[in-house]
A and B are shown apart, each in its own frame.
Chain A
Amino acid sequence: MSKGKQGLLFDEGGSSAVKPKAPARKKKAPQTKKSASTRTKAAPRSKKAPGPAPSAESMSKKQREISVSEFFAKNRHLLGFDNPAKALLTTIKELVDNSLDAADEARIPAEVDITIDQISEDRFRVTCTDNGPGIVPKNVPLVFGKLLYGSKFHRLKMSRGQQGIGVSAAGMYGLLTTGHAIRVISRTAKNKPANRFEIAIDTQKNHPAVKKQDEIEWDRPHGTSVEIELEASYRKGHHSVDNYIRQISLANPHATLRYRAPDRANDMDLTVYAGVTNELPPETAEIQPHPYGVELGVLMQMLRETKARTVQNFFHTEFSRVSNKVAGDIAKLARVPANRKPAKVDRKEAEALHKAIPQTKIMAPPTDCIAPIGEELLEKALTSIHPAEFITATTRRPVVYRGNPFLVETAIAYGGAELSADDAAIVYRYANRVPLQYQHGACAISKAVAATDWKKYGLQQPKGSVPVGPMVLMVHIASVWVPFTSESKEAIAHYPEIIKEIKLGLQDCGRKLGAHVRRKRRDADEEKKRSYITKYIPHVATALQEILELSDKDRERTVVTLTDVLERSRKM
């Protein structure tokens, strides 16, 4: 429902750098005299171009449908394919997201193998193989060869993917840059054959073009393997694929990831992130929208389309957490007869109903639609990745933004040899267990981190930015519908409810961290004082020996007695 806005895929200008193909868009660059004059001749700016003026008729000839895939072929940056390094990361992200989603939904402990092979300087082959439920053969072409095709868009359920673009966009990027079709092997059960596909995409029609399909022998009883060849570049560092996969394992402690980077010597040289738990994330239910935050337009559309016979029944059946009584209360408060036919509700009445919703006490959405990672597992996973001296995590209770339940989890790993005390904290952002790598400046998480007062917890913090200290900050937002700022799913929109929850979570972790930092300082102080005793007492005794001409024995006796006296006074 509130997907409405999310569904409008194209109204958002890409904020990422665009490499426009069309020179018309380019800013006017300083021109040579010659070209300037020819230009003036050809098209005087303020005057009409020669020839007949375009008419509605002539223009109508140029007006035609733009296929979605065509659009994206031109605007690949909208999906996170703006440069070769990012393209590699995005491709892996889409593949792994899908594998984990599928396995989780089928209640299979996920095992995902990711390999990257370098074929030439700027060409790579990415393979992602999972032990998920597989895809029925007839759907495979559509899943991989058609944009805006998927199982997750038309529902409110927590999952990594939600738009139905991801993997087909990656496939299209590969096809556009290398000419190689996407290769898929999938098998749904042991007693079913495995099918192999090669799928290209007809960008004009946004339709899959199956180039090859056959049955093959496959050593896996079920699962899916996807292979994409693409133009890319492999880098190390913060935005690296290596780092990314490490971060995935952190938010998916139940999954096992095996990863082979392109620079590895042989096939057996894998980085393995074994799951730290055998328990699957709790199964999440699909839910109906919650009334809080439903937009008026959406409400009116729902009233028109509902099968319910009465307004009261409409609220009860179409929304989550609305009992018959609550539905009646809403109608009463809005002064709309509870038995009015939904289709008969006019604009004014709809407005009244819409206003009545926030004034009615309605239970928070069910929590079983969101599966938090959980404090214990977060701490465990964080420990396995960052062996820090202090680790804490907080899982907040689910709340609602615009009728969508969401919850926030925060965790901090502090101290230890790996982390530098002089650098800004490393912030890991997650949405539905998926790490967000780019656009941190535009993300609600970064904003909430900077808006939290870390000085209270004994950390340094330059005004309006991330705190400084040896630490990793992790923030996870889980929701049935994560409000991203764009289709590339890189940053979370700045909803006040979301920012508030993140801050509360960070504050909770911050308080625990603050206690630790203070304790540590106190201990260091203690230690320093203790060393003071051993350092300076001998000097007191030496000076007394010199002045009073004491024997060495007397001096030693003084050291012992004075040490004793001070130790005792310290304990008081």
Chain B
Amino acid sequence: MAKAKKAAKKTSAKKSVRKIARKRAPQGEKRIHATDEETMDQIDSTAKRIYDTIHKSGRPDLKLPIRSLSNVSYDPKRGYLEIGNQNKVRTLSVNTVKNFAQTLRMMSLSKELISNNDFATKREAYYISKNWEEAKFDEQPESDTVMDDIEALFSVEAVNREQLRFYPEEHGGSVSGPLVVIDQDNTGRVARIDCSSFGSGAYSVPTSVEALQFETNADFILLIETGGMFQRLQSHRFWERMNCILVEMGGVPTRAVRRFVRRLADEERIPVYAFVDCDPYGIANIYRTIKVGSGSSAHINKFFCVPSARFLGVTPQDIIDYELPTHKLTDVDIKRAKDALKNDPFFKSHPAWKKAIEQLVKMGVRAEQQALAKWGLNYVIDEYLPQKLEHPDKFLP
């Protein structure tokens, strides 16, 4: 079912949705996430270990992997930023007792949610903590951090925040194109959603995508940075013309969008192309996160990135080739670019990227994807994208 070779050639419109048999996940993939049983076991055994240590008059501890770019490695064969083995051990002491209390209460809440087959949004969890008297959280970032800690604590066992039943607030991005999503809501009703029939609107990725099933015969997935560009391609039925699925990311995509695209790409074996602004943020933050994940959530990158993604544009060379209007790089831009060159294991291991970023810094300018409008509003649809899609082999890794 490899369709990559076709993708570049497709220029004519095709029938958007073709119902095909549901595909199974590729064999041999390690378990993606823990079952509810396993998650509750994790919580129980952690609590038990702490309880036992206390009653042996010892001081219990929690071993948390360090979540930052300094503790990740990148192997292009594996395809994602992998968390290293640096841990911080948090031992129960006068200084950490508050954090221990909050972490344990949060774990207890998680267990309760699982046994009731319910969930709490991150914000709701924060409000639930208001019942915990002194152990309550003052601000939501504090409870978010504790959730991340628990997730990292259990990451070896493939327990994600979603398995802990804490859901993010943000919505996933918009999707349109030849794709049917088969979903099931809490009541168990099954819905078949045709992503080509939203008119001028679009399907929106739900917060938890693990149970979704897909049917598609699209040739590729195009990830688009801005809502404006998505709007243009969507309303001109670009997806129909190129037989592709359009996904709007709205900046750095949420976990759900990343996971959605990852599953779609893996299970349906469709190539993924990213179309973002040509600036250090578009490259080093948005694209890098889709492709290999991020430093701060390194413990979950394995599942929440799309290693097969490739960079369509806008490339620094495009700025020259298409004579795009530009803005000067800001100090922040330059710092971000230099940082990527120096500290980011992903860029460091791809000479093509090194060259491109160095070129950008040298040019000292950036260009937005919508700058293509200089040549006419639909230039992007009629010329730029088709031209680029002729040579997917030339996309940056």
* Interface residues, chain A, with chain B CB atoms under 8 Å away: 529-530, 532-533, 535-537, 539-540, 542-544, 546-548, 550, 557-558, 561-562, 564-566, 569-570
Contact = CB atoms under 8 A, between A and B. Distances in A.
Contacts of B58: 565
B64 interface: no
B107 A561 contact: no
B252 to A, nearest CB: 34
Nearest to B110: A547
A566 B101 CA distance: 14
Interface string B22-66: 000000000000000000000110011011001101110000000
A539 B132 contact: yes
Nearest to B101: A539
B100 A540 contact: yes
Nearest to A543: B104
B269 interface: no
A160 to B, nearest CB: 57
Given A544-B51, A547-B47, A558-B54, A532 B108 contact: no
Q: From DSSP, what is the main secondary structure of chain B's interface residues?
A: helix
A307 B43 CA distance: 103
Contacts of B50: 540, 544
Interface string B96-110: 011011101101100
Sorted nearest first, the 10 A-B pairs with minimum C-beta distance are A543-B104, A539-B101, A539-B135, A547-B47, A546-B108, A536-B101, A536-B97, A529-B94, A543-B105, A535-B134
18 contacts: A529-B94, A533-B97, A536-B97, A536-B98, A536-B135, A537-B97, A539-B132, A543-B47, A544-B50, A547-B104, A548-B48, A548-B51, A565-B59, A566-B59, A566-B92, A566-B93, A570-B93, A570-B94
Contact of A561 (B44, B55, B108, B135): B55
Contacts of B97: 532-533, 536-537, 540, 566
B262 interface: no
Contacts of B107: 543, 547
A539 B98 CA distance: 9
A492 to B, nearest CB: 50
A558 B134 contact: no
B95 interface: yes
B95 A529 contact: yes
A539 to B, nearest CB: 4
Given A547-B44, A548-B44, A564-B57, A532 B98 contact: yes
Contacts of A536: 97-98, 100-101, 134-135
Which range contains the number of B residues in contact with the other chain?
20 to 34
Interface of B: 43-44, 47-48, 50-51, 54-55, 57-59, 92-95, 97-98, 100-102, 104-105, 107-108, 111-112, 132-135
Contacts of B98: 532, 535-536
Contact of A569 (B43, B59, B105): B59
Contacts of B93: 566, 569-570
A543 B95 contact: no
Nearest to B133: A539
Nearest to B112: A546
SS of A interface (majority): helix
Give the interface centre of A537, A557, A565, A566 by most chain B CB atoms within 10 Å. A565
Contacts of A562: 54, 92
Contacts of A566: 59, 92-94, 97
A548 B47 contact: yes
A158 B135 CA distance: 65
Contact of A540 (B55, B101, B133): B101
Nearest to B106: A543
Contact of A533 (B54, B55, B94): B94
A10 to B, nearest CB: 64
A561 to B, nearest CB: 6
Contacts of B101: 536-537, 539-540, 543
A546 B50 CA distance: 14
Contact of A565 (B44, B57, B104, B111): B57
Nearest to A566: B94
B46 to A, nearest CB: 8
A547 B107 CA distance: 8
A561 B54 contact: yes
Contacts of A557: 55
A547 B43 contact: yes
A28 B50 CA distance: 87
A448 to B, nearest CB: 41
A550 B134 CA distance: 22
Nearest to A531: B134
Most buried by A among B51, B108, B133: B51
A530 B94 CA distance: 8
Nearest to B104: A543
A544 B47 contact: yes
B54 A539 contact: no
B54 A543 contact: no
Contacts of A546: 108, 111-112
Contacts of B112: 546
Contacts of A570: 93-94
A452 to B, nearest CB: 35
A389 to B, nearest CB: 26
B94 A565 contact: no
Contacts of A550: 51
A558 to B, nearest CB: 6
A570 B92 CA distance: 11
Contacts of B105: 539, 542-543
B100 to A, nearest CB: 6
Contacts of A547: 43-44, 47, 104, 107-108, 111
A544 B93 CA distance: 17
B104 A544 contact: yes
Contact of A539 (B44, B47, B51, B104): B104
